[in-house]
Amino acid sequence: MGWLFGFRDGQSYVELDEHGLRFCYGTADERVPLPEIGEVARHTWPIEFGLGARTGPDDTVAYVGSPEGVVRVAFVRPRPMNVWGAFELPNARYAVVSLEDPTGFLDALAAVRTRA
């Protein structure tokens, strides 16, 4: 059903490089520089919070396609984040994403931070 709103598998991902993170989910395409990323850890996302691009508790923007493999990315300071289309969370403190390989993502992020 997510394809109705532009949430296709090939267009829903988190990209990591030496500069930071890129969150792509439907119409959202957000880049967060590495120095603006705080604590990143595994997280639970109860199914009753819903799936898709949405806002969540504690000023969270969520790009969640599954309640499995969820990671929460804290920001050093609140920042505007696109949710979907024209909808934006102006002071997001967290991004929550579901990933195919959350452990690999956390390991890769730790390695990039070590080199920075």
Mean pLDDT of 83-106: 94
The pLDDT confidence band at residue 8, using thresholds 50, 70 and 90, is very low
The full 3-state SS of the chain, as one line of letters, equals CHHHHCCCHHHCEEEEECCEEEEEECCEEEEEEHHHEEEEEECCCCHHHCCEEEEECCCEEEEECCCCCEEEEEEEEEEEEEEECCEEEEEEEEEEEECCCHHHHHHHHHHHHHHC
**What does DSSP say about strands 13-17 and 37-42: parallel, antiparallel, or unpaired?**
unpaired
Contact 74, 40 (CB under 8 A): yes
CATH architecture of the domain covering 2-115:
Roll (2.30)
12-46 per-position pLDDT tens digit:
899 999 999 999 998 899 999 999 999 999 999 99
Mean pLDDT of 101-113: 96
State the pTM of this model.
0.90
**pLDDT for res 102:** 95
**pLDDT for res 94:** 99
Q: Residue 2: pLDDT above 80?
A: no
**pLDDT for res 10:** 55
